Amino acid sequence: MLFKNKKQQRKDGNDSGKIKRTGKTVNGFVDEKEKTRILNEQKEPLRAGPAKIHSKKEPKRKKSKLFSGIQGEEFSGDIYRQKGGIDRPMLVIILLLICFGSVMVFSASYAYALDKTGDSYYFIKKQLLYSTIGLTLMMGIALAIDYRKIRAITPIYFSVSALLLVAVLVMGVAAGAAVRWLDLGFISFQPSEIMKLGLVLMLAWYYSITEKRVRSKGFWTSSLFGTFIPLAIVAFVCVLIALEKHISGTIIMFAIGMVVIFVAGGKLIWFAAASGFFVAAVTAIISFTDYATLRLDIWLHPENYSVQSEVWQTLQGMYAVGSGGIFGVGLGNSRQKHLFVSQPQNDFIFSIVCEELGLIGAALVIALFIAFVWRGVIIAKRAPDTFSRLTVIGIVSKVAIQAFLNIAVVTNTIPNTGISLPFFSYGGTALVILFIEMGVLLSISRYSYLQKK
């Protein structure tokens, strides 16, 4: 168009100015195609960042929803939460522990069972029954139950466990000096075993709903929600168990609670103060409790007591440990299990392991527990939220603490007290509860943060 009106001329002049400022010309003159392209680019809205490019192989990702459980869903950056199979290494470790433990229950118990019941297979038959029930529950929980449903019922589970502990104080059955059993006629059990899982779940649930306050920059706010309130929960449980005269159970419960509080970020100064106060409290309880004082004095001064009565159990257990040597006397060939070691299928089963399988067998047992803890830590690190992480840590620490204390008792490192060896000691409801805990752990292992490759 040869002649243009003034409005069109002004528009062209402005466009030319824009183009000239870009410095993109051809031989000093503006190229029409280049002009059109530049004008279109200038009309596009500004972007806050680079455009998202989606490859043909990778579909466009949807915005993540908390706890949605969709496989391969992106949470942040290159971290993905995947819902898949249970952790196979942990499953293998658990199966190895229970198989090894069942073999040792039979080997350690048949002489004692024949003498007490007339049936050499009495304990192993019941152990296999409880193991079958436990394994069924474990796999059912691991494969069919979402751990978020467990989180939802945690307050109810904890409340029921606390009521059962109170019931023990009213209608409990004594086992030696301690009153720790409930007998319902068709079944008898220790509510403290149920509460071990209850305490872990309750602390994990509490921290999951107060996470922001626990991480508060304010010292007293963080101390209150991160340490004081959780310590009150632990103290409540410990007092109920201490009233049963169950000192070892009180120590285990406190240790489990402190591990969870420490991992959750409790203040170290209050952590140390609480630990010191607990040691002082236990010392005071022992000082004013005859049976606890007696056990402590037997441990400190065994020479003052008869080897035929007070020192008998500890001494025979030490004989079993020492006689095994490096390779042991052979599976099934223990001499101390023939009515020398008291309850060889239960608290002192590790001494029979040492006698029959020697140092190598004892090291294998310890190695399996170390592997269990190692794999548990890996599952906890990959767990998708606070509740799941602390639950795994609590369950793993419970097994590790009991194993450590049981081995310490058998080797006379600490005073003799009733602590079972997880997966190895003969048990009924305690073994079933242990498998339920393993089911919860494996259920959580199905949900993981994994680095994108």
**Per-residue pLDDT at 45:** 45
Phi-psi region of 427 (alpha: psi -120 to 50; beta: other; left: phi over 0): beta
Query: What residues does 379 pair with on adjacent strands?
Result: none
**Per-residue pLDDT at 62:** 41
Q: Report the Cα 371 to chain-centroid distance in Å.
A: 14
**Per-residue pLDDT at 167:** 92
d(Cα 431, Cα 134) in Å, to the nearest integer? 7
Burial pattern 298-318, b for ≥16 Cβ within 10 A else e, equals bbeeeeebeeeebbebbbbbb
Helices and strands in the chain: count of H runs, count of E runs:
16, 6
**Per-residue pLDDT at 116:** 87
**Per-residue pLDDT at 300:** 81
Strands (E), 184-271: 188-189
* Whole-structure pTM value: 0.79
Q: Where are the domains of the chain?
A: 90-144+310-453, 149-288
**Per-residue pLDDT at 59:** 43
Phi-psi region of 77 (alpha: psi -120 to 50; beta: other; left: phi over 0): left
Residues of the chain with pLDDT under 50: 1-4, 6-7, 9, 11, 14-29, 44-78, 80
- Token code pair at residue 338: 């023939």
- Token code pair at residue 116: 């007490």
pLDDT, tens digit, for every residue of 56-82?
444 443 433 332 232 333 334 445 456
**Per-residue pLDDT at 51:** 42
